[in-house]
A and B are shown apart, each in its own frame.
Chain A
């Protein structure tokens, strides 16, 4: 790695740390209903909206009402996204006259966007009309993120309250989160992206004449789509001359802003942020990367403010960084190391200078290079964002293991907006339990005793993800419907399937590629995985919030386990890693690890 690359990583981490406090504080003010500057702008609209919908802002909900409101809201969101897709042919803003996606693809996409997953079994520019992209997908980008944050706020209120059942009002939390946090941030960010060259228009696709026509060879196919072979059994080749290219258009900037900020990750185009219209410059790339972890990191500080002990927020953030940074370094190191198979072709992958950074450039954009691709890959999977600016499938085996394992940690390290931190809090509950026992006291977190009921819920929350990922991957690896979609044989193909279900269950949405998931099998199974992965964690979280709210606050003393000490932070990080490692080590051994050993065994020196 060159010094320049190291500097880029440092600036990234530093920038993230700098924004944490002001943004975290601001978000706490939003949810605490403290006066904020934007009140003057949006206040009347907010109050009008409450009157229109008959929402009593002072009406506190217990966990059951909060949960029902959330589920009903998400259910209708799902229906609307499904409906718009199915009807898009008859609706306006469809200059390409795209037909409706299949029912199972529509189902998959609807669950995907409502659960903040944004897994895409489709290529955006060739499947979804402008209206669908805007009204169905972009709207859910906002609402699913606001839902996740609302759930987190409910949990924080549960931790903070005592002898009460009031977790706040779901409608108010969702509306304020959207109005005062997501909308203004996205608005500013979209304008900035426009300045960098991200497009925003309703034009139909543009056909342009290439300045430098190109020609290439391609295998000939018969009418059924099979490759035609010559007498020797080799594929018959034909030469193709390209003089024209179709350039897709659309309202991109408005979607990309929230896609990055709301840990959604559903790209406007098929290749997501590797596309020059989504992420044109190194500067836009830097801010898009920053946007990935922007809100999840700041929410840690929000928690600290709301529980009136800011050290707790910093401690959680420290534990996240403690896991994130080594993994990011591993990804950077592996990609920089390059692919030994290329070396055997005489390709020099050593970093020589800032203008010759070397490394494994397969599947990467030259405008981003190794550092920004590896950094993005780690950040997008640490958070449950899932947008990509390079093809993870083309990473080196261990470089590809990093994003996979970041998701295996349960999307708790940064994670989705809201959902990441409440996932982390489940790990905190397990950590304080083990640590509490080790010091001979009934475990407590922030003054709340952790008892069998909370343990049961936390166990369900942590348990469900590995169960679904492993179970669904197992089904896919031994059924014809599952195996036939795999493009690459062997261990790499296995990784592709494992990655797909890991990404969907963890509501990440990034794709390893190399797997044709637009089949009824993957669309349906994946849709179920996304629903279970989102709500089977959200429900126990709200139950815990309700149960904690009812408890008395235990005063802290000398015998209390300190949950902001370096010791606790290390323990929390270790338990998060060990629980991930223990569940997925065998599967990883049969995927990327064996691939790495084979690659270096064959080509290594």
Chain B
């Protein structure tokens, strides 16, 4: 996947977009956009008028008609260019994704057993339900579910993340994506998609914009713009009879020409937003991709801007996934120092953040200096998923630490007794929302380590901003209400759902939706799938199960639960860009009237020149300047359309005031200056 900080002006993309701009002049492309289609018809008409003028029957000087005609075509090209630029960035990404989708020879198994009969088959011929074996160095031929084995997989082709991830059967890390590579060990995978429907295929068509459907707000805006265009069409068309009447009745002047009317129409109709509308939509999807989020539906992107309730899982989102040791609690007859030392020894080989936090606590709080591993001459038992404990074997001493049930089994295996007091300590710790690790030396239980949830830095500020944006946060956790309340208060969430079972999440979403709320959530497990399917915006983690990914409408390749906040902002930005450019486009019209109306009718009524407040040099230059400004507005606003209007996390009122000042008032004033400047340039160049 491309770099995340891709510049808008990539020379390769620009070159492609320039070519595309011309190709998009075909009527089939143009008719998709009602506003620009009317410009298209106008351009064809003025071209015909120009040819007529060349033949000597022109309604106006051929040079003038040519000037208007050229700039009308340029307006179209600029609009096409904007769209092509937006698509170009996606296309570049699609290209790199395609490389991952090459044909692979898959090892198809007759039965889900490594030793069963194996046939070699092209990956394109794999159907849903087929079973394949993937060994070290093999590429995964298609999307599927791991049914046996555990392996590390390089998924950088999809996620851009170079660190390998673990994929194993069962649990929440069982889904594999076609095009990724197994680095070590082996997997037996049941294929879950047919050719052409894989995640990679979906991603390619999404980034290319081929599958893009108009979102509801885009549709509504298109309707409004079409209505405005229709009004302006009648406004301009009616000016011909009005002009005829005025000329006859005033007995002087010339009837307004078709060329001028078409120029006026193009200037008035909302071409700025009309020309940039699809570019904004594509760029919005693109920004999602830059954020490493794949939007499986355009609606979800837009809905993201509307959500007002955010369901967040506690672990990994609000708290660090890793807990930290904060206290050693020995059982009766054991000193804290003893326990601390044993705990430290047992954790020396534990490179997980939790393990490290134990050694640090022992060192800082109990002044135990770190043992030199070599001088101890110990053998270390590292933490594994199977044993779920770690420890060290010293001369005559075996220390272990692990979850209470694991240690209980370990102690009992050595004919030891797991003391009742240890159970009590463990319960106490969990009632405070912590996690207990039990430490044992040989068959004697020494005590427990209190691991506490650590709230992520800066998260409460983030929630405060969300509150300002009008989004309520609800923390979902399996913890008991007391713990949940403590963490909720500390993190600054608005509400929490404690002792939550997966079905509670679904119930909560339903009840919120019944009250009219739009709910967003993230999830990765299969048991999250029903809730994901119910939520309005559902971000599935890429590391999650196939079921979760299918239920979500957005997939986060980084598998970062706080990404939801970014998604919301991208959604809002998308709408804001449309709204702001619409306001700008409509506000522009006032200045254009002042440029064109005197120019068009001053031959009939010379007094109308008083409305020429910009003091544009000649009627021809006035009209041409307005048309040129109209075209240039599109090209100058392409970066804004692609990047999106800047979003600040403030209240709706402040945001509206800011955008009205910039795009409403700005849109009123800028064209007066712009048209005047273009007029001066045209005069100095002696064009008109």
Q: Which residues of A contact B (CB under 8 A)?
A: 430, 433-443, 447, 450-452, 454-456, 459-460, 462-463, 466-467, 470-471, 473-475, 477-478, 483, 489-491, 493-494, 552-555, 557-562, 565, 567-568, 571, 574, 578, 581-583, 585-587, 589-590, 593-594, 597-598, 601
Contacts and interface: CB of A to CB of B under 8 A. Distances in A.
Interface stretch (B36-44, B83-91, B200-208, B586-594): B586-594
Nearest to B658: A438
Given A474-B242, A598-B605, A490 B249 contact: yes
A559 B471 contact: yes
Given A435-B579, A559-B471, A441 B220 contact: no
Q: By CB atoms of chain A within 10 A, which of B231, B582, B664 has the most? A: B231
Contacts of A440: 305, 571-576, 579, 647, 655
A557 B302 CA distance: 19
B516 interface: yes
B469 interface: yes
B306 interface: yes
Contact of A452 (B220, B574, B608): B220
Given A470-B235, A565-B653, A560 B470 contact: yes
Interface in B542-577: 571-576
A388 to B, nearest CB: 26
A589 B597 contact: yes
Nearest to B470: A559
Contacts of A557: 308, 470-472
Interface of B: 216-217, 219-221, 223-224, 226-227, 230-232, 234-235, 237-246, 249-250, 268, 302-303, 305-306, 308, 467-472, 515-518, 571-576, 578-580, 582-583, 586-587, 589-590, 593, 597, 601, 605, 607-608, 610-611, 647, 651-653, 655-657, 659-660, 663-664
Contact of B238 (A474, A560, A571, A601): A474
Contacts of B651: 558-559
Given A433-B220, A558-B470, A587-B239, 18 more contacts: A437-B217, A437-B580, A440-B574, A442-B302, A459-B227, A462-B227, A467-B234, A470-B234, A555-B516, A560-B470, A560-B652, A567-B653, A574-B664, A582-B589, A582-B590, A587-B235, A593-B608, A597-B611
A295 B472 CA distance: 42
Given A459-B223, A490-B250, A558 B469 contact: yes
Given A440-B655, A452-B220, A562-B653, A571 B660 contact: yes
Nearest to B225: A459
A601 B607 contact: yes
B240 to A, nearest CB: 8
Given A462-B227, A463-B227, A597-B610, A581 B238 contact: no
B231 A561 contact: no
Contacts of A456: 220, 223
B670 to A, nearest CB: 16
B306 A442 contact: yes
B216 A442 contact: yes
B242 A436 contact: no
Nearest to A461: B227
A558 B652 contact: yes
Contacts of B586: 578, 582
B217 A589 contact: no
Contact of A437 (B515, B575, B664): B575
A567 B470 contact: no
B242 A437 contact: no
Nearest to A578: B586
A473 B238 contact: yes
A558 B249 contact: no
Given A459-B227, A493-B249, A494-B249, A554 B605 contact: no
Given A554-B516, A589-B597, A598-B605, A439 B652 contact: yes
A459 B220 CA distance: 10
Contacts of A439: 572, 575-576, 579, 652, 655-656, 659
A430 to B, nearest CB: 7
- Would you list the 7 A-B pairs with minimal beta carbon distance, nearest first? A559-B470, A437-B579, A440-B572, A459-B227, A558-B470, A438-B579, A477-B245
Nearest to A552: B516
A189 B228 CA distance: 43
A399 to B, nearest CB: 18
B601 A590 contact: yes
Contact of A441 (B242, B244, B305, B659): B305
Contacts of B245: 477-478, 483, 494
A551 to B, nearest CB: 9
A565 B574 CA distance: 25
B224 A441 contact: no
A590 B217 contact: no
Residue among B579, B593, B597 facing the most chain A CB atoms (10 A cut-off): B579
B468 to A, nearest CB: 6
Given A561-B656, A571-B660, A474 B517 contact: no
Contacts of B597: 585-586, 589
Contacts of A466: 231, 234-235
Contacts of A582: 231-232, 235, 268, 586, 589-590, 593
A594 B241 contact: no
A494 B242 contact: yes
Nearest to A561: B652
B422 to A, nearest CB: 48
14 contacts: A436-B575, A438-B583, A440-B305, A441-B652, A442-B575, A459-B226, A470-B238, A471-B238, A483-B245, A491-B250, A555-B516, A560-B652, A567-B657, A582-B590
A437 B221 contact: yes
B182 to A, nearest CB: 43
Contacts of A562: 652-653
B516 A594 contact: no
Given A442-B575, A589-B597, A430 B224 contact: yes
